[in-house]
Structure 1
């Protein structure tokens, strides 16, 4: 056993699934320091393989991956270990994806980049109370911009279809899409 693994509790097996390799590696190391036995995966296929090999008690899953959705792994994990505590991470925070994640079996939903303390707290907090408010929540302008970007991506980057679904004039949408993301 190495010095980094001292204090690792084998009942605290954690799967970290994220296709952003630097972020995943940092989170894996940080969670190991917090006493978790961590397996990292970079794709839905790797995540499903890890769940089949040894179903973890905890999971931190990215919502959008290059080969699919973290929701696919939630379903497999729920089948393998119904008591697993699952946290979804996403860079596209919106109500629809949060609802989908919770319906699939996630216990919490955190925006990326999430720090290891927030992830550990969400995984280990078994109380049904609401989590504390974020220290730096996104501004209303940023939330609006993120929502528009998400719908735009879901519509295959089709401006006309996105404008129709958002009930917005096409030119207005084009102006918004040409701007940089608001701060905060």
Structure 2
């Protein structure tokens, strides 16, 4: 048995681990849609990545290198119902808004199955959220849509998205592009 005085001093470094996700507040929809974009006919670009959804206007150039798309949020949603109030209606939380309550993250749903969009309900909820955040609050989207899709996506993927866009949002036109090619073009100009 060694005596405590005989032991060498050992220096230890203590690292602190942040507590959970950062504090978030519910996102507030943009209010400049009608003054800035309504009559322009500018295409709406939606990048449905398997982890994040990005959306913005095609002719909205970034102001600097750090400025990206208008919207960038996690590609999932969850329904939250307050257990303390029995009469409370469920609240839909999309993207980063899911972090406002710890229990909603466990109930999150995504439109993807192995990288391919297969579920229409989460897709519709996420599109509703994205359009609302961009300031589009009408029943008809009057802008053409540029939508990304993965390489070699099955026809069912495009059929599901097209059906939702044309029948649910009455978009005038949709163009699909391979997400990796768009990324290559943007990063090698």
| TM-score (norm: length of structure 1) | 0.31
Q: Which has the higher helix share?
A: 1
| TM-score (norm: length of structure 2) | 0.31
Larger-gyration structure (1/2): 2
Greater relative contact order (Cα < 8 A, sep 6+):
2
